[in-house]
């Protein structure tokens, strides 16, 4: 699956509210987490308000954000988790 586009939180909330079939994954990237939304053959990253990829400092904050959008199920991908690595941002 290609992850070349972003999806706004409002769009995800609308999809979830109408019962659309989406796969939500919280994915670790070094010391942050991103949210991947899969629908059909596409996968999109959750977008921040300013247009870049939304990143979360903790798994808990990502889960809380998704819960507020109406998401009740999400997978967790820890394959790239490196808690000791500092972010360059």
Q: What is the pLDDT along the chain (89 residues), one digit of tens a residue?
A: 455 699 999 999 999 999 999 999 999 988 899 999 998 888 999 999 999 999 999 999 999 999 999 999 999 998 887 767 655 44
**Per this entry, what is the length of the chain?**
89
CA distance 89 to 80: 18
CATH topology of domain 2-77: 3.30.720
CA distance 64 to 66: 5
For the chain, the structural domain boundaries read 2-77
Q: Which two tokens stand for residue 57?
A: 């400092």
- In DSSP terms, 76 is beta-bridged to 26
- The terminus-to-terminus CA distance of the chain in angstroms comes to 27
């Amino acid at each position: 699956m290609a992850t070349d586009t972003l999806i706004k939180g409002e769009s995800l909330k609308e999809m979830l509210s109408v019962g659309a079939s989406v796969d939500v994954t919280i994915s670790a990237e070094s010391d942050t987490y991103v949210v991947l939304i899969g629908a059909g053959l596409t996968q999109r990253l959750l977008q921040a308000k300013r247009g870049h990829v939304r990143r979360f400092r903790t798994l808990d904050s990502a889960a809380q954000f998704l819960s507020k959008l109406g998401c009740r199920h999400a997978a967790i991908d820890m394959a790239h988790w490196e808690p000791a690595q500092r972010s360059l941002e």
